[in-house]
Chain A
Amino acid sequence: MRKRLLVKELYEELKPTLSFELLAGSAGLLKSVDNSRIQKPGLALAGFLKHLHTERVQIFGETEISYLNYIGKKEGKRRVRDLFSLGLSCVVVTKGLEVLDYLIEAAEDFTTPLIRSPKVSSYCIEVISDFLEDRLSPEISLHGVLLDVFGVGVLITGDSGIGKSECALDLISRGHRLVADDIVIVKNKRGVLWGTAPVRVQHLMEVRGLGIVDIKDLFGVSSIRERKRLDMIVRLLKWSESPSIERLSFTSRTKEVLGVKVPYVEIPVSPGRNIALLVEVASKLFLLHKNGITFNNIEKLLLGVEVDGKGVE
Chain B
Amino acid sequence: MKRKKIVVENKYGIHARVAAAIVKEASKFSSKIYLEREDNNLRANCKSILGLLALGASKGTVLNLEVEGEDEERAFNAMRELLEGLSKDA
Residues of A within 8 A of B (CB): 1, 139-141, 143, 160-161, 181-183, 185, 197-198, 200-201, 204-206, 212
Q: Is the CB of A185 within 8 A of B42?
A: yes
Given A160-B27, A200-B56, A182-B41 contact (CB < 8 Å) = no
Main secondary structure of the interface of B (DSSP, over half): mixed
Q: Is the CB of A160 within 8 A of B47?
A: yes
- Which residues of the other chain, A, contact B53 by a CB distance below 8 angstroms? 200-201
Is B90 positioned at the interface, with any CB of A under 8 Å from its CB?
A: no
CB distance from B21 to the nearest CB of A (A): 15
Q: Is the CB of B41 within 8 A of A1?
A: yes
- Which residues of the other chain, A, contact B45 by a CB distance below 8 angstroms? 143, 160, 182-183
Q: How far is the CA of A139 from the CA of B42 in the complex (A)?
A: 9
Q: Is the CB of A140 within 8 A of B41?
A: yes
Q: How far is the CA of A205 from the CA of B54 in the complex (A)?
A: 11
A-B contact pairs, 17 of them (CB 8 A): A1-B41, A139-B41, A140-B41, A141-B44, A160-B47, A160-B48, A161-B47, A182-B45, A182-B49, A183-B42, A183-B51, A197-B54, A198-B55, A201-B51, A204-B50, A206-B49, A212-B49
Known: A201-B53, A212-B16. 13 other contacts (CB 8 A): A1-B41, A140-B41, A141-B42, A143-B51, A182-B44, A183-B50, A198-B42, A198-B56, A201-B50, A206-B49, A206-B50, A212-B49, A212-B50
Residues of B within 8 A of A (CB): 16, 27, 41-45, 47-51, 53-56
CB distance from A117 to the nearest CB of B (A): 28
Q: How far is the CA of A139 from the CA of B27 in the complex (A)?
A: 27
Q: How far is the CA of A141 from the CA of B47 in the complex (A)?
A: 15
Q: Is the CB of B27 within 8 A of A141?
A: no
CB distance from A79 to the nearest CB of B (A): 39
CB distance from B19 to the nearest CB of A (A): 10
CB distance from A155 to the nearest CB of B (A): 14
Q: How far is the CA of A161 from the CA of B23 in the complex (A)?
A: 12
Given A160-B27, A200-B56, A181-B50 contact (CB < 8 Å) = yes
With both beta carbons as reference points, the residue of chain A lying nearest to B56 in the complex is identified as A200
With both beta carbons as reference points, the residue of chain A lying nearest to B37 in the complex is identified as A141
- Which residues of the other chain, B, contact A182 by a CB distance below 8 angstroms? 44-45, 48-51, 54
With both beta carbons as reference points, the residue of chain B lying nearest to A198 in the complex is identified as B54
Q: How far is the CA of A143 from the CA of B48 in the complex (A)?
A: 10
- Which residues of the other chain, A, contact B42 by a CB distance below 8 angstroms? 141, 183, 185, 198
Q: Is the CB of B41 within 8 A of A183?
A: no
- Which residues of the other chain, B, contact A143 by a CB distance below 8 angstroms? 43, 45, 51
With both beta carbons as reference points, the residue of chain A lying nearest to B51 in the complex is identified as A183
Q: How far is the CA of A270 from the CA of B47 in the complex (A)?
A: 21
Q: How far is the CA of A200 from the CA of B15 in the complex (A)?
A: 11
Residue from the set A183, A185, A200, A201 with the largest chain B CB neighbour count within 10 Å: A183
Q: How far is the CA of A270 from the CA of B42 in the complex (A)?
A: 32
Q: How far is the CA of A205 from the CA of B49 in the complex (A)?
A: 9
Q: Is the CB of B48 within 8 A of A206?
A: yes
Q: How far is the CA of A86 from the CA of B44 in the complex (A)?
A: 41
10 A-B pairs closest in CB distance: A198-B54, A182-B50, A160-B47, A183-B51, A201-B54, A141-B43, A182-B51, A143-B45, A183-B54, A201-B50
- Which residues of the other chain, B, contact A185 by a CB distance below 8 angstroms? 42
Q: How far is the CA of A141 from the CA of B44 in the complex (A)?
A: 8
- Which residues of the other chain, B, contact A200 by a CB distance below 8 angstroms? 53-54, 56
Q: How far is the CA of A201 from the CA of B50 in the complex (A)?
A: 7
